[in-house]
């Protein structure tokens, strides 16, 4: 079973995302901010990360930059999942190593289509 780390400071969003990802047959771990997420990754690299941008302690972009510097930090597919919906944010995220980008609000179809895009579910 593939592992998914959901990183979001909102418990509601984590819950919604968890439900969608569980249906898609992923095993879920959760983190409330970038720092927690980094610790989770250092103990075990997930296959895919759904990543919020604006969070306390360490935001999503900073987390991603740190992650990609780590040995094996290039393994997880990272999908930003954020209310930041302008071209500047999107290009920054891609430059920092994001594989995909979801602009909130999202639904199951969008998440699944992005998972297909990064090769995490079969097309």
Name the site residues for other proteins (rule: CB under 8 A).
85-87, 90-91, 94, 98, 100-103, 106-107, 109-110, 113-114, 116-117, 123
Nearer to other proteins, 42 or 112 (CB): 112
Smallest gap, in angstroms, from Cβ of residue 29 to other proteins?
Answer: 24
Residues 45/75, Cβ–Cβ less than 8 Å: yes
Nearer to other proteins among residue 45 and residue 115 (C-beta) = 115
Contact 67, 96 (CB under 8 A): no
* Nearest approach, Cβ of residue 116 and other proteins (Å): 6
Whats the size of the chain, residue-wise? 123
Q: Which is nearer to other proteins, 18 or 108 (CB)?
A: 108
Output the six-digit token pair for 45.
């690299």
**Closer by beta carbon to other proteins, 42 or else 89:** 89
The answer for residues whose C-beta is within 8 angstroms of residue 91's C-beta and 6 or more apart is none
CA 74, 122, 4, 90 dihedral sign is positive
**In the bound complex, what is the minimum distance in angstroms from residue 63's beta carbon to other proteins?**
18
Which DSSP category does 84 fall into?
A: -
Rounded to the nearest whole angstrom, what is the least distance from the CB of residue 24 to other proteins in the complex?
16
Q: What is the largest CA-CA distance in the chain?
A: 36
């Amino acid at each position: 079973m593939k592992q998914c780390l959901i990183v979001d400071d909102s418990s509601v969003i984590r819950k919604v995302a968890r439900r969608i990802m569980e249906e898609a047959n992923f095993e879920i771990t959760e983190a409330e901010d970038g720092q927690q997420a980094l610790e989770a990754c250092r103990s075990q690299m997930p296959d895919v990360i759904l990543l919020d941008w604006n969070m306390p302690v360490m935001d999503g972009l900073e987390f991603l930059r740190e992650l990609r510097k780590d040995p094996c930090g290039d393994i997880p597919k990272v999908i930003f999942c954020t209310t930041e919906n302008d071209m500047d944010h999107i290009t920054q995220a891609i430059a920092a190593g994001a594989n995909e980008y979801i602009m909130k609000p999202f639904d199951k179809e969008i998440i699944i289509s992005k998972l297909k895009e990064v090769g995490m579910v079969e097309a």
